[in-house]
Structure 1
Amino acid sequence: MHDISGKKVAIIATHGFEQSELEVPLHKLKDAGAEVHVISLEKGDIKGWDKDDWGQKVKVDHAIGEVSPDDYDALVLPGGQINPDLLRVEPKVIDFIKKIYAQKKVLAAICHAPWLLVEAGIAKGHPMTSYHSIKTDVINAGADWQDKEVVTDKGLVTSRNPGDLGAFCAKIAEEIAEGRHERRAA
């Protein structure tokens, strides 16, 4: 995995995030040298979903209102069914996602998290993947949905499911190491 020392990564999640989809990127990106913050709707802890039942709590570093997209080099959006469904109705979260995208920074979403890209109006015109159950939503939003492990388009990284976490994290680190993606239209 690429060395991304000195880079800052935000992970936005709330209750019901898929446990591995938050924890694996959190640890792998830290191991690659990044400073990684878990951001949620409020401070405290958020509880994950682990396959078919509630999982473990994860400490929140910052509430969404306390941070700025200007402070980060990348944003990771874990999936699970509950987490992105709750987040996509939160204006501060959608605004954060839009600003990261407009600043041409790395934006990564896995599993059901591409719902957030759809809500933010980012999917249109991009090759993307997602969990199969939201394929139609992604296509209807104007994306070129592809049945691949990981799909990358100028800093926009999407992945199908938690079985693809190694490739997902490696691609995030690679895109962060490349820097801003100036060819991408905001």
Structure 2
Amino acid sequence: MSKEESEQRWARKSLKEMISAVEKCVGKLNGSMEDLKEALDGVEGRIDNWKEQSRDYAKLSLNSTMDKVNELFNSHKDKLSDRNNALEAMMLALKEETMATVMALSTRIEELERELALVCGDKACTRCGQFLEEDGQCPKGIVDDMIKVNTASMFLTDIELLWWQGRTTNKRQCEIGMWQEFQCKLKG
């Protein structure tokens, strides 16, 4: 065997050894890749599990928060509803009280107006009757007190007009101006 053959054998042997070493490495690499795939599948499973747990925790947390917010909202709604009902009851009570007061005051005003009319009518009739009788101006045929009052007021109005006319004539002032002053003072 020549040196060349031995070198070729040696090269073949080393090539075979290298191929076998590479095949061993590839086998180990394939095993490592399978281990890595299993580990990666495990990590992905854990990530999916963590996502589900996170989602469940978030749902639970949001549901808990939502329940608290709903309780608070319902509590405030109930309180406001109670206050509204209380205010409505107070308004109805005040309205009824006001209506009762108005009715009582209306009744009292009507009573006082009737009393005033009776008192004023009686006093006016009595005074006018006394005045006319003292003055001798009362006609003997008038029996009704109200007619006496009307007659007396017309009589007094005529006297006042004559007095004012005489005053305006004496002072040489405008009769209309003085008459208007008289009307203003009489009405005011």
Bigger helix fraction: 2
The two structures have a TM-score, normalised by structure 1, of 0.17
Structure that is richer in strand per residue: 1
Relative to the length of structure 2, the TM-score reads: 0.17
